[in-house]
Amino acid sequence: MIKAIRNLTLAAAACLLSLSAPVLAANQTLTFKAPPNALGTTMQLQNNGVVTVGANGLVTIQVANPIGGACAAGTQCDYTGKDIMRLLAAGFQMLTGEPFSISWDGALGGLGNAAVKPFAAPCAGTFSKLICTAILTGACTTGPTINVGDITATTTGTAVSPTTAVATLASANETLVFAYNDTIALEQTATTSSCTAPSYSCSANLVCS
């Protein structure tokens, strides 16, 4: 009877892990964001000993794939998948694979070349899409050209040039990568001229890696 209960418990745990854990590449590194009450604390993990949650609130572990396999030397390695569940149960948010967005709204046609709306990257990741549209009509001789960029690395993605027609989308698929805490941005990359009244809304989607 005890053996049967134990087997049932193990099966349930395996099911929970399969539902909650991400699809992993071989020896993938996962980044987790700590809840506010865990900043600066230490946490006991199943296989890695004690890890400290730094001031940035990030904890990074490597997960052996397949489970039971090996990880690179010197990494915080989760050989069983239990650390993933332990962190999630403690309120940590897994950033790896999580999307987020940055946006820039306003009279962008009146901005000079090289104007930026900067953000601090909360993780290492990749821009995936940029979309802009006019939200208040007007006229421009030369309208805005907006791009995504990593100011720290001085790299840019694929730009879009929205028209002054309301709800007409200008979009581009992006592949620009950035590192954790890089200054990333939406950027004005052309000199506008004779813009009267139009207002724009731009947003870029990003995915943590």
pLDDT in tens, 81-116: 677 777 888 888 888 777 889 999 999 988 888 889
CB 106 within 8 A of CB 199: yes
The answer for residues whose C-beta is within 8 angstroms of residue 194's C-beta and 6 or more apart is 139, 140, 141, 142
In this predicted structure, what is the pLDDT of residue 40? 75
CB 111 within 8 A of CB 188: yes
What value does the CA radius of gyration of the chain take, rounded to a whole number of Å?
22
Total-model pTM: 0.67
Paired strand residues for 44: 50
Paired strand residues for 133: 201
Average pLDDT across the chain, whole number: 78
Q: How are strands ordered across the β-sheet holding 77-78?
A: 77-78, 58-63, 28-33, 93-94
What's the rounded Cα separation, in Å, for the pair 105 and 202?
6
In this predicted structure, what is the pLDDT of residue 186? 96
In this predicted structure, what is the pLDDT of residue 10? 33
Domains and CATH numbers, the chain: 22-94 (no CATH), 99-208 (2.60.120.260)
Distance of CA 148 to the CA centre of its chain: 14
What's the rounded Cα separation, in Å, for the pair 150 and 128?
14
In this predicted structure, what is the pLDDT of residue 70? 62
The dihedral of CA 78, 81, 84, 88: what is its sign? negative
> In the chain, which residues have pLDDT < 50?
1-23
In this predicted structure, what is the pLDDT of residue 65? 59
